[in-house]
Structure 1
Amino acid sequence: MKQDLTIPHGALDGIEAFLRVAERRSFSAAAADLGVSPSAISQSVKALEARVGAPLFMRTTRSVGLTQAGEMFLERAAPAYAGLADAYEAARNLGNRPAGRLRINLMRGAVQPMFEPILAGFCDTYPEIELEIFGDDALSDLNAGGFDAGVRMGEALDADMIAIRLTGPFRFTVFGAPAYFERHGRPQTPAELRQHRCVRLRLASGGLIPWSFMEGNREVEVPVTGPVIVNDQAAIIMAVRSGVALGMTAEPVLQEHIERGDLEVILADRAVSTAGLFLYYPSRKQVMPKLRAFIDYARDHLPEDMAR
C-alpha cells in the first residue's frame, strides 16, 4: 500500500522552540536565544503539545524538565530538524556559488564540437559542478526531464524560451572522402546528388532529415538515397570517411577532418545556413550560479570558428 508522506499543515510549528527549551532547560533562555519573548516561546510549545496530545515538559518555578513523551519526541525530532537545517543550508549554498549537478540537453551532433574544446577547462575551473551532458536529438521538455538548460539551433526554439547565443551562424555542407570522389565523381549541382550515394540521418521522431540547399533566395529540398541510414552525427562522419557515400552536417564539425585532408566540402556556395547554437531555458527566473558559470565559460572559450 502506498505510504502517505504528506506532512500536515503546521506540523513543524513550534519545533525550533521545543528543541531550544529542551537544550537550555529554560523558557526565558530559549526566548533570548531566538530573539522572542518568553510568552511567545511558551505559546509555541503549548500549541505543539496540543497537537502531539501529551505534555512535553515538566514545569516548576525553578526548573524545566522533559516528560517521557518529551524525551521520546526529542530523540526523533532533533536529528530530523538537523537534517532539515542541513538541507536548507545546502540549497542556499547552491544559490550562492557555482556548485551541484548541471544537466545540459543538446543535439548529439553538437556534443563533440561544443564540449571537446571546453570540457577539461570548465571542470578544472569549477570543481564543485558535476556536469551531465545528455545527447538528445528530440526537442525535449527541459522541466519534465530535469534539465537546467538545453542547446539547440535558434530556429528550433519556441518564442517563449530565454535564448543566449553561444555561436555564430554556420552552414550545413555536403562532404565526401577523396576515395569516394575517385570512384563516383564529384557532383557539380545539388540536383546531381540524386545520382549519388548519400548517408541519411534519422530523427528521434522517425523521420529522415531532408537535404536542403539555397536556390537564389529560397530554400529547396533535394531527395537523396544511399546505402546507409544512421541516427548519429558521428556515424555520418564515420560512414563518409570510409568512402561509402556522401554526407551532410554542420561545417564546424568537419573542420579538423578538412584540415587533415580526410574529407572535402562540396557545393558550399549552395549551402543552407543556421542562425547558430543557443543555450536556452524556459523562464526568466533567477539563473543559478552553476548555469551562469557555464554560460560565461562557454561563450569565452569556444573556438573562434564557433564564436559569435
Structure 2
Amino acid sequence: MRATDLSELAAFDAVARHRNFRRAGAERGVTASAISHAVSNLEARVGIRLLNRTTRSVSLTEAGAMLLSQLSPAFGEIGSALDALNQYRDTPFGKVRINAPNSIARFVFGPVMGPLLANNPNLELEIVATDRLVDIVKEGFDAGIRLGESLRDGMTAVKIKPRLRLAVVGSPAYFARYPVPRTPTDLKEHVCIRNIHPSGRAYPWEFSRAGNIIEFEPTGPLSLDDQELMVEAAMSGVALAYVWEDRARSHLANGELVECLASWCAPEDWLYVYYPTRKHISAGLRAVVEALRV
C-alpha cells in the first residue's frame, strides 16, 4: 500500500469518527480542506461514495460504515505496533489528548504537569478544559476526567487525586448584613448564586450529614457557570457562593471569604481518569494515568 493510500484512509477514519472535517483536521494536524481533499481522492480511487455531506452535517454511507468497521481494528493494531517501539526509547513518545472539566482541571493537572513532562520529554500533552459534557470518543480524546457518578458504561476508570469538596462561602461584609446560616434550610433567607451548567440548566446545592441529604435550589438574581466569577461575586459581598473549597482556599486563608455549613459539606465522589475499555492504551496515556492515580 502506498503512503498516500494510508494517509487517505486515516483522513476518512478521522472524519467518520468525528462526523466533522474541522475536528478531524485538528486531530490530524492539517486543515479541514486538506482532510476533505484526501477523502475525495479516496472516494474517487475506490469509485464509491463513503460520506454524505451537507452544509451542516456529515454521515456515513452504507459503504462508508462497512469500511470504518474494518479500519478501526486495523488502525488499533497499527497504534499498538507503533507504541511497542516505546520499549526501545527511554520515555513514552507522542501526543495524549485529555478532556477535563474547566472547574477542576487546575486541581488535577496543576501539581503533575511539570514533573510529568520533565520525566517524559518526548510526551506531548494536550488538555482541553471545558464544563461542557464531552463525548471523548466522538471528539477524538484519548481520555477524560470526571466524577465517578457521571461515568458511562464501556469505560475503564482509574481513581485519581485529589478528592474535592464543595464549600459555601461569603464575605465578611455579607455576613455583617446577614446571620451566618447554621443549617441548609437557613439558606432560604439568604442571597445565593445559582450554579448553572454551560447549557444554562441549573443544578442544586447538595448537603449531607449523618445520613440526612438536603438539596437546595437557589433563587437568587445571579446565575453563573464559572467558579472564578462565583468567587469574585462572593468577595464583593453580593451573595453566597457554592464552589470547590480549593478554588476559594487562598481567600479563606486571608479572610476575604468566610466558610459556613462546613459540617454539611462532605467530600465529593472520587475523580477518575477514564478511557474506552476497548481502546488501545498508548505508553503516553499510561504515563499520564500513573502520574494522576491515587
TM-score by length of 2: 0.67
Counterpart position of 2:175: 181
Contact 2:204 / 2:217 at 8 angstroms: preserved in 1?
A: yes
Q: Residues 121 and 242 (structure 1 numbering): CA distance in 2 closer, same or farther, change over 3 Å? A: farther
Of 105, 118, 128, the match for 1:111: 105
Partners of 1:228 and 1:164 lie apart in 2 by 36
One of 237, 255, 264 as aligned partner of 1:270: 264
Does residue 214 (structure 1) correspond to residue 208 (structure 2)? The answer is yes
Amino acid at match of 2:265: A
Distance of 1:213 and 1:272 partners within structure 2: 7
Per-residue displacement from partner, 1:83-104 (whole Å, max 9, x unpaired)? Answer: xxxxx89x82586252222211
Report which stretch shifted further, 167-176 or 186-195. Answer: 167-176
Task: Give the whole-Å Cα distance in 1 for the aligned partners of 2:197 and 2:99.
Answer: 16
Matched, 1:249 2:286: no
1:92 pairs with 2:82: yes
Matched, 1:141 2:141: no
- Code of the residue aligned with 2:117 in structure 1: it is C
Give 1:269 deviation, angstroms. Answer: 1.2
Correspondence list, 1:224-239, <5 A: 224-239=218-233
2: distance between equivalents of 1:100 and 1:266? 46
1:203 partnered with 2:197: yes
**Aligned-pair CA distance for 1:175:** 1.3
Question: CA RMSD of the aligned region, Å?
Answer: 2.8
Aligned-pair CA distance for 1:144: 0.6
| Paired residue secondary structure (2:193) | strand
Q: Does residue 240 of the first structure (1) align with residue 230 of the second (2)? A: no
Match of 2:156 in 1: 162
Q: Is the 8 A contact 1:196 1:225 kept in 2?
A: no
Bigger Cα displacement from structure 2, 146-155 vs 114-123: 114-123
Q: What is the identity, as a one-letter code, of the residue corresponding to 2:173? A: A
The SS at the match of 1:186 is: coil
Taking the aligned partners of 1:93 and 1:269, their CA distance within structure 2 comes to 48
Instruction: Name segments (4+ residues, structure 1) moved above 6 Å.
Output: none
Instruction: Give the secondary structure class of the aligned counterpart of 1:146.
Output: coil
TM-score normalised by the chain length of structure 1: 0.64
Identity over aligned pairs, percent: 35
Q: Which ranges of structure 1 fall in alignment gaps of 5 or more residues?
A: 9-87, 300-307
Alpha carbons 1:155, 1:274 under 8 Å: kept? no
Contact 2:191 2:240 in 1 (8 A): yes
Q: Deviations over 1:194-233 (max 9, x none)?
A: 1211122211332112111125424221121223211112
Q: 1:168–1:275: 8 Å Cα contact kept in structure 2?
A: no
Q: Computing the radius of gyration over CA atoms, which structure comes out larger, 1 or 2?
A: 1
Give the gaps of 5 or more residues in structure 2: 1-36, 47-77
Aligned to 1:179, the other structure's residue is in SS state helix
